[in-house]
Copies of this chain bind each other. A is one copy, B any other.
Amino acid sequence: METIDIRNLLEDGRKEELREGLNKMVLTDIIELLQELPEDDNARVFDLLELPLALKAFKLLEPSVQKELLWSMRNDKAAQLLNELPADDRTAFFEELPSTVVKELLKLLTNEERTITLSLLGYPEHSVGRLMNPDYLAVKKEWTVKQVLDYVRENGHDSETVNVIYIIDESGKLIDDIRIREVLFVSPDKSMTEIMDNRFLALSVNDDEETAIGAFRNNNRFALPVIDDGGILIGIVTIDDVLRLAEDEDTEDIQKIGGVEALEEPYMTVPFFKLMQKRAGWLTVLFMGEMLTASAMGYFEDEISRAVVLALFIPLIISSGGNSGSQASTLIIRALALGEVTLSDWWHIMRREILSGLFLGSILGLIGFIRVATWTLFTDLYGPHWMLVAFTVAFSLVGVVLWGTLSGSMLPLLLKRAGTDPAVSSAPFVATLVDVTGLVIYFSIAIMLLRGTLL
């Protein structure tokens, strides 16, 4: 059924047809519909969904829409929904709410679900503990395939996934993970010990999210078990949560690299003043930093008034430093995020970037020299000492690009070392840093080369 038909049925108030149509739609369309309909209408639509479908849809909605729906629901329906929601999705939802609201909502949960939620919320933010789901299937190693399949049939309904089955010992310690396919492929009377390989990979409950993302990236798994310090199996993390998380982290990184605080909400729905808050802060900080250029230039005012020609190349030179710095910092930020480089590689990176800076600076310096020389053929803008001007520009470009490359590559490492997010060393931030020092480099070289002629 088309979204447009649904809207018509909604308008005409044809509830039964609406219910029938809705429950035949695919999930994506339902979600799109719920996010687009006005507040009251989406509550009416949501109310008509069968519980399993409502649950699936609710999990995938934007937090703002989730809140809307929950507020407009009767308490008993809200309770039912929250209790049926997988524990990790519920935790994710609660994290978006103010703690006073969470306290109210916790009352709607059954004792059992409340205990689970509270324990998940007890782990530090951005830890694997918050991400995990306590609903998994664990069996003993003596069990036969038939016993395991019977167990799955009876107990699998609450499990987040039946794709992997975990084998634990008497104390609850994880000793192996077995994919359901291994179980399905052998005859029913075999025991688990016969298909075990005693090789498993697990996340620790205190690992951070990035470790989890890395583990999934490098291991082609759909789910990973989570153990505590004693090796006891306490939950699982599934790849669908990780895909979403990896994307959120990338969005944050990208926004920081562009010089915006992480928005945390889609561009189209974030309120205007929140958007301004996220942008004005950084922009003001950068502006304050850039004001140092006016001070630096004030210091060289005398030189500029004597050789106005120097002023002409200021934007060209400082922007080249900024651009090469942005390049270097972006490369290192991403390599750090993917785990391709670590802090201990700093010396290797530094050598590489010094070479890069010299190489790239020489290219730009050469082009700059040619530019000044060529223009001189057609105009006398650069005066009789054009050759000295050309050398000043060329050497400054080498110096500024080298400096930009070096500071752009080292800054993310320093920030990481200081325990801050390296992505803060955004392109605009590095550019600002390099602008100020670039001016000093440029005018110092000019004073050295032009003393006695232009200066």
Q: Could you tell me which A residues sit within 8 Å of B by CB distance? A: 24-28, 31, 56, 59-60, 149, 152-153, 156-157, 159, 161-163, 180-181, 184-186, 198-201, 215-222, 239-240, 242-244, 246-247, 250-251, 253-255, 257-260, 263, 266-268, 272, 275-276, 279-280, 282-284, 286-288, 290-291, 293-294, 297-298, 301, 304-305, 308-309, 311-316, 318-320, 322-324, 326-327, 329-335, 338, 340-341, 345, 348, 352, 355-356, 359-360, 363-364, 367-368, 371, 381, 427-428, 431-432, 435, 439
Q: Give 16 pairs: A residue, B residue, CB < 8 Å, sorted on A.
A: A28-B215, A239-B243, A242-B243, A246-B247, A251-B334, A258-B329, A258-B330, A276-B356, A290-B316, A297-B311, A301-B308, A304-B304, A305-B308, A308-B311, A326-B428, A327-B428
B267 with A364: CB separation less than 8 A: no
B316 with A275: CB separation less than 8 A: no
B315 with A293: CB separation less than 8 A: yes
* Smallest CB separation, A78 vs chain B (Å): 21
A330 with B259: CB separation less than 8 A: yes
Q: How many copies does the complex hold?
A: 2
Contacts of A240 in B (CB 8 A): 216, 220-222, 239
Nearest to A266 among chain B residues (CB) is: B340
Contacts of A153 in B (CB 8 A): 184-186
* Smallest CB separation, A408 vs chain B (Å): 9
A222–B239 CA distance with the chains assembled, in angstroms: 8
* Smallest CB separation, A296 vs chain B (Å): 8
